[in-house]
A and B are shown apart, each in its own frame.
Chain A
C-alpha cells in the first residue's frame, strides 16, 4: 500500500473549507465540472499510477460495483 491513509495534511480544516467554498453557488453540473478539473490536477501532481489506482479503488468502496 503506497497510498497515505494516515493524517498527512497540516491545516486540514482550512483546506476542507476551501474545497466547500469552491462549490459555493454552483449548480450540480458546474460542481461536477470543477471536481473533475480538481481530480485531474491532483492526479497529475501525484504522478504515481499505483497510488492513484489505490485511491480509485478506495474511493469506489461501498458503491454497487465494489
Chain B
C-alpha cells in the first residue's frame, strides 16, 4: 500500500488555482485499470483527453491538488493548435491567447531588425503560426474538457510512490491524503515531467548535455502598444554582450527573458530590486509595470534511449528535455501524445499488435532528436561557447545587414513546426513520381479551407482516404472523403497535389501514410495494414 502521509505540495509549489483533493477511489485498496496516466501537466491532460475521446476508461494520477502558478510554457505552435483542436480546445486557446506569426531579430542598438521570419508561410489555414498563452490557462481549459468526458477520472493529490512493471500489467502504488491504494494497470503512460518518478523508479537513463548559462524570466504586467510579434535582441545596450527575448501574453502580461551568464547569485537575481533596473534599462526609466512571475532557469538537452518499456510508455518532459529557444518542449510533448493515442487505441481494440508501439518509439524519438538538434544549435548561436564562436556569430549578424544570405544563418531559435517521419516503417513509399509536389508519406497533411470549415477538422482522428473523385471502392476501417464532392476544395486538392483520380491515405494523427495517382482497393488495404504496424507483404 502507498504511504498514508504524502507530501503537501501546496507548501512547496506556488498555487494558481486550488482544486479539491480527490477521495479514495471506489476500488481501493486495490483496483484494476486499462490505462493509467501519471501527471496532470499539459502533456498528461492532453493524452487523457485523446484516449478518453476514443472511448477508453482512463485514470489520471496527479500529485498536485492545484494548477501551479509558474507559467513555464507560453508559446504553442500551429501543429499543437491543430492537435488541441482535435481535442476540443483549439478555438478557445486561440481566442484566449495572443496570436503571432512574425518574429524579428535585433542586434545592438540598431532599430531595424537584422532578420525577420514568418511562422505561417502558407496562409489560409485554420490555425495561426503560433499563439502565446499562460500555461495555467491552457491547463485550465484542458481540465474542463477532460471533465466533460465521463470515462476520464482525474485524481488530484494522488502521488505515485512505487511501480512494479510486469509482463501482463503494471502495479502502481498511490499515496493520497485520503490514504494509499494499489492499481493494477494494463498500460501506464508516464507524463510526469522532467524529474519523472516513474523513470527514476525504473532506474532508466536520461542522457544529454547541460548548458552553463542562466536565464531570467520576468513576466510583467504593463500597458503598451507593441505589436504581437516575437522580438529577440543579440547584445542590446540594455543587456550588453547577452540576449533578451520579448513575448506578449494575454492580459497585458509580457514575458522578458534576460540571459544572465553562468556565475551569478540565483537567489539574488530574481529579487524585484535586482530585476527592476534591467526592465527600466530596456523599456525606459519611467515605465509602469507590475511583477507577475520572476524565475531563473538553466537548461539541458536530454532524452531517454527508449520511450517504450514494455507496458510503461513515456511522453513529454519525462522522455525528453530541450532548451526553451524554439518552444519545442511542450510542443514536442503534444506531438508525442498525438502519435501515441491512436496506436494505443488500436491495440486496446485488438486491431493492431502491441508491436505497433515500436513505431511510437521510433517516431517520437525522431521528433525529440530533431527538437534537441535544433535547440542545441540555437543555444550555441545565442550563447557562443568560445571566442571564435562569438566572432563567427557576430560576423553573421554583421553580414546580415549587408548581404541577404547571412540572414538565414541568424539563429535566435528555430521555432517548433511538425517533424516529418520520412523513414518511418509505417509509411508506404511512393510508387509514382510526384515530382516533389503535394505532401509525401511521413509528413502531416496541410490544412486548407473547405466549403464549411477546414480540412483538418474534417479529418478528425481516424484513418481517412482523401480522394479527388469517387474511388469506386471502400476499405474497411477507412473513411473516404471525396474532395471533388465538396465545394471550395481547390486549395485542399492543390496542397496535396490530388489530380483527378488520385488519393492519399491519412493516419489518425493527420500524417500521410501513402498516396497514389490511381489507387486500388488492394493497395489502400495494404498501406492501411502497414500503417497499423503489419510488415509489408
Contact = CB atoms under 8 A, between A and B. Distances in A.
A40 B391 contact: no
B394 interface: yes
Given A29-B391, A40-B409, 14 more contacts: A32-B387, A32-B388, A32-B391, A33-B391, A33-B394, A33-B395, A36-B394, A36-B395, A37-B395, A37-B398, A37-B399, A39-B392, A40-B399, A44-B406
Nearest to B405: A44
B127 interface: no
Nearest to A36: B395
A41 interface: yes
B396 interface: yes
Contacts of B392: 36, 39-40
Interface string A1-44: 00000000000000000000000000001001100110111001
23 contacts: A29-B391, A32-B387, A32-B388, A32-B391, A33-B391, A33-B395, A36-B388, A36-B391, A36-B392, A36-B394, A36-B395, A37-B395, A37-B398, A39-B392, A40-B392, A40-B395, A40-B396, A40-B399, A40-B406, A40-B409, A41-B403, A44-B405, A44-B406
Nearest to A47: B405
A44 B409 CA distance: 10
A29 B405 CA distance: 24
Contact of A41 (B387, B388, B394, B399): B399
Nearest to A38: B395
B406 to A, nearest CB: 7
Interface of B: 387-388, 391-392, 394-396, 398-399, 403, 405-406, 409
Interface of A: 29, 32-33, 36-37, 39-41, 44
A40 B392 CA distance: 8
A39 B395 CA distance: 10
A2 B127 CA distance: 44
A37 B392 CA distance: 8
B215 to A, nearest CB: 26
A41 B400 CA distance: 11
A14 to B, nearest CB: 24
Q: Most A CB atoms within 10 A — which of B388, B391, B396?
A: B391
Shortest beta-carbon contacts, A-B, top 7? A36-B395, A44-B405, A37-B395, A36-B392, A32-B391, A36-B391, A33-B391
A6 to B, nearest CB: 28
Contacts of A41: 399, 403
Contacts of B406: 40, 44
A65 B403 CA distance: 33
A16 B405 CA distance: 25
A12 to B, nearest CB: 25
Contacts of B394: 33, 36
Contacts of B391: 29, 32-33, 36
Nearest to B409: A40
Contacts of A37: 395, 398-399
A56 to B, nearest CB: 13
A49 to B, nearest CB: 13
Contacts of A39: 392
A54 B22 CA distance: 62
A43 to B, nearest CB: 9
A38 to B, nearest CB: 9
Nearest to B388: A32
A32 B398 CA distance: 14
Contacts of A36: 388, 391-392, 394-395
A33 B391 CA distance: 6
A40 B396 CA distance: 8
A29 B391 CA distance: 9
A34 B323 CA distance: 31
B405 to A, nearest CB: 5
A37 B402 CA distance: 11
